[in-house]
Amino acid sequence: MTHDYRRHGTTTLFAALNVLDGTVIGTCKRRHRHKEFLAFLKQIDRNTPKDLDLHLVLDNYGTHKHPNVRAWIAEHERFVLHFVPTSCSWLNLVERFFAEITNKAIRRGAIDSFVQLEDTIGDYLRLHNRDAKPFE
């Protein structure tokens, strides 16, 4: 960072990485509460074949265990949540994907607002999914 670096805010990227083909379902939200997480789960539900069981590997963040989230999961049996320690190697895969976004889309950009940041991330996700490959 330079002496004149200004941070224009942050966003939360909710991302579901398909480990088989490398595609990502993702969305940016201004906050990371159970309401936003539930909206993301519903997005995953809409965008995946109904005949698939979905195994989500999550950290132990409280939002993921909120009573409303637990109730929704109980009604949607195809969703299976696996909670792992925060430093677990499964999460390294997701962190690697986030690093790709940073390195390829955000780091050298001139981003002046939340909207521009979220648009940049969305554009990267669309570009990534056109030629997605699993991480090796």
Q: Which residues contact 38 (CB under 8 A, 6 or more apart)?
A: 68, 69, 72
Q: Helical H runs in 1-136?
A: 34-46, 67-75, 89-101, 114-130
What six digits make up the tokens of 62? 């409280």
Cβ neighbour number for residue 74 with a 10 Å cutoff: 9
Q: Residue 55 in contact with residue 86, Cβ under 8 Å?
A: no
Cβ neighbour number for residue 35 with a 10 Å cutoff: 14
- Pairing assessment for the beta strands 54-58 and 12-17 based on DSSP bridges: unpaired
Residue with tokens 């909207």: 115
What six digits make up the tokens of 4? 């004149």
Cβ neighbour number for residue 108 with a 10 Å cutoff: 7
pLDDT in tens, 62-118: 889 999 999 999 999 999 999 888 677 766 787 888 899 999 998 877 788 888 889
pLDDT in tens, 115-129: 888 999 999 999 999
Question: Region 43-60: what's the mean pLDDT?
Answer: 94
Report the distance separating Cα 103 and Cα 132, nearest Å: 17
